[in-house]
Amino acid sequence: MNKPAIPNSFRTGPDEQGMFGIFGGRFVAETLMPLILDLERHWNEVKDDPDFKAELTDLSTHYAGRPSKLYFAEGLTRHLREVSSAKGLGGGAKVYFKREDLNHTGSHKINNCLGQILLAKRMGKKRIIAETGAGQHGVASATVAARFGFPCVVYMGATDVARQSPNVFRMKLLGAEVRPVTAGHGTLKDAMNEALRDWVTNVEDTYYLIGTAAGPHPYPELVRDFQSVIGIEARAQILEQEGRLPDTIIAAVGGGSNAIGLFHPFLDDRSVKIIGIEAGGRGLDGIEHCASMNAGAPGVLHGNRTYLLQNADGQIMDGHSISAGLDYPGVGPEHSWLRDSGRVDYVPILDDEALEAFQLTTRVEGIIPALESAHAIAHAVKIVPAMDKDQIVIVNLSGRGDKDVHTVANMLGMEI
Ligand SMILES: *Cc1c(COP(=O)(O)O)cnc(C)c1O
């Protein structure tokens, strides 16, 4: 494969067509095009508007609880130094957690939802639609819709509705209508198709609040920009706390929004190694994983070209992960471009490894991480013992793990 030329900056994309190299774009039905262009026009108006920024900052501060802390994970660091000594390495980098788990609704998803609900308000929209897999983005969308008084419809695969009943109930409490989608396998991919269909038929009044840095342009860009608050804060915080940049930063990649949010402000700091973690599930040999960048191929889904899990006929496959937030069969297009350009490494972590890191973090830090975030921690557990003591690693703790305790109990053969 031809590697794209190394650009002067990795932070300038996408181009006017919404392309990151050969990835991204807007592969949508003609009927959707006017909506996409209208969204793009409004986005271009607000993205540098000081009033819009001030309103978002105020909500982020007083409603969501930002800035999130950059926490020195002393317990995990000590543990990994012991592992390093036991192996005769005598090292072990300092590990920091970026605490997105402390945000209102328990993850980074609120950053994106607050930004997009303000955009919807600016556009004069009257109704919010969203897709959700495990229900985390559905809950965050229903939350901001409640806060701003919008009716909200959340499309959710029927299979997911059945297995995520607490989140379905939360959305209902928040006043949202949850519409089960029976098409396909009744999972996230199908819910997203249905949301796009709703959007086309309710052109005038509806805003589609997409949940990750994927979909047609300008969504990957605007979701990235709303989530970049993570990396902007982390970069300033580590400079203040350690007086220098980190050596390595790590985040889990589902659709890729928390990861691109952490990564983007560091992309031009060439000394910083950047690692995205994909769901390796039960291993990359079979089909029970969600490692689209390590075991997929480029194709078009949900309006953009990107790496996807697909069979030999180009049919999109349903992935598997212990973590519901990571089992999207694609990835945001900017990650595909960062992969091919070599700026970011994408590495799979298995279900078992994530489960192990989940338990370890809970015991040595007193923090129950989301299973998604546990994938990122699991990679730190692998690489930190071989690093030097004066090196620094930042792991994005994208969310808290309260939502995952049933899954974990199940995996450990226990009943709650
Ligand atoms: C949804 C979710 C993810 C995965 O989504 P991205 O768009 O890849 O960030 C990761 N962590 C948590 C806690 C989530 O809720």
Residue 163 resides in a domain: yes
Residue keyed to tokens 């009744």: 186
Position 305 scores a pLDDT of 98
Residues 331, 391, single domain; the answer is yes
Position 127 scores a pLDDT of 97
Which residue among 207, 224, 241 closes a domain?
A: 224
Q: How is 345-414 classified by DSSP, letter by letter?
A: EEEEEEHHHHHHHHHHHHHHHS--B-HHHHHHHHHHHHHGGGS-TT-EEEEEE-BBSGGGHHHHHHHTT-
Residue keyed to tokens 């952490």: 262
- Measured in angstroms, how far is the CA atom of residue 257 from the centroid of ligand 1? 7
User: Among 307, 267, 314, which residue's Cα sits nearest to residue 290?
Assistant: 307
Instruction: Give residues with Cβ within 8 angstroms of 21, minimum separation 6.
Output: 4, 13, 337, 340, 341
Pocket lining: 325 vs ligand 1, CB cutoff 6 Å = yes
Position 186 scores a pLDDT of 86
Residues 407, 286, single domain; the answer is yes
Pocket lining: 370 vs ligand 1, CB cutoff 6 Å = yes
- Ligand 1 atom 10: residue of nearest CA: 372
Which residue among 224, 258, 278 closes a domain?
A: 224
Residues 75, 157, single domain; the answer is no
Q: What's the CATH code of the domain at 244?
A: 3.40.50.1100
Residue 14 resides in a domain: no
Residue 253 CA: nearest ligand 1 atom is 8
Our count of domains for the chain comes to 2
Position 3 scores a pLDDT of 63
SS3 102: helix
From 107, 321, 373, 398, active-site residue? 398
Residues 276, 394, single domain; the answer is yes
Residue 101 CA: nearest ligand 1 atom is 13
For 50, 136, 389, the CA distances from 107, given in Å and listed in that order, are 26, 8, 30
Residues 184, 277, single domain; the answer is no
For 58, 207, 222, 336, the CA distances from 48, given in Å and listed in that order, are 16, 21, 12, 27
Q: Are 138 and 156 in contact (CB under 8 A)?
A: yes
- Measured in angstroms, how far is the CA atom of residue 271 from the centroid of ligand 1? 26
Residue 18 resides in a domain: no
Residue from 103, 262, 372, 396 to probe ligand 1 pocket by mutation (most atoms less than 8 Å from CB)? 372
Residue 209 resides in a domain: yes
Residues 176, 270, single domain; the answer is no
Residues 115, 246, single domain; the answer is no
Instruction: Give residues with Cβ within 8 angstroms of 47, minimum separation 6.
Output: 222, 225
From 40, 100, 131, 233, active-site residue? 131
Residue 370 resides in a domain: yes
Instruction: Give residues with Cβ within 8 angstroms of 162, minimum separation 6.
Output: none
Residue 236 domain boundaries: 70-106+228-412
Residues 82, 217, single domain; the answer is no
Q: Over the chain (416 residues), what is each successive 10-residue block's mean pLDDT?
A: 74 96 96 94 97 98 98 98 97 98 98 98 97 95 98 94 91 98 90 94 92 98 98 98 98 98 98 98 94 96 96 89 89 98 98 98 98 98 98 98 93 91
Residues 178, 326, single domain; the answer is no
- Ligand 1 atom 13: residue of nearest CA: 399
Dihedrals phi, psi of 374, to nearest 5 degrees: -60, -25
Residue 131 resides in a domain: yes
Residues 32, 76, single domain; the answer is no
Q: Which helix (H) or strand (E) holds 50?
A: helix 50-59
Residue 48 resides in a domain: yes
Residues 192, 295, single domain; the answer is no
Find the Cα–Cα–Cα–Cα dihedral 143, 146, 150, 152, rounded to 10°: 50
Pocket lining: 212 vs ligand 1, CB cutoff 6 Å = yes
Which residue among 169, 194, 224 closes a domain?
A: 224
The structure tokens listed for 19 are 């392309």
- Ligand 1 atom 2: residue of nearest CA: 325
398 is catalytic: yes
Residues 398, 328, single domain; the answer is yes
Q: Are 385 and 287 in contact (CB under 8 A)?
A: no
Question: What pairing do the DSSP bridges indicate for beta strands 19-20 and 127-132?
Answer: unpaired
Residue 326 CA: nearest ligand 1 atom is 4
The structure tokens listed for 153 are 């419809």
Residue 12 resides in a domain: no
Residue from 103, 104, 136, 397 to probe ligand 1 pocket by mutation (most atoms less than 8 Å from CB)? 136
Pocket lining: 399 vs ligand 1, CB cutoff 6 Å = yes
How far apart are the C-alpha atoms of 165 and 184, rounded to whole Å? 20
SS3 182: coil
- Measured in angstroms, how far is the CA atom of residue 137 from the centroid of ligand 1? 9
Position 4 scores a pLDDT of 65
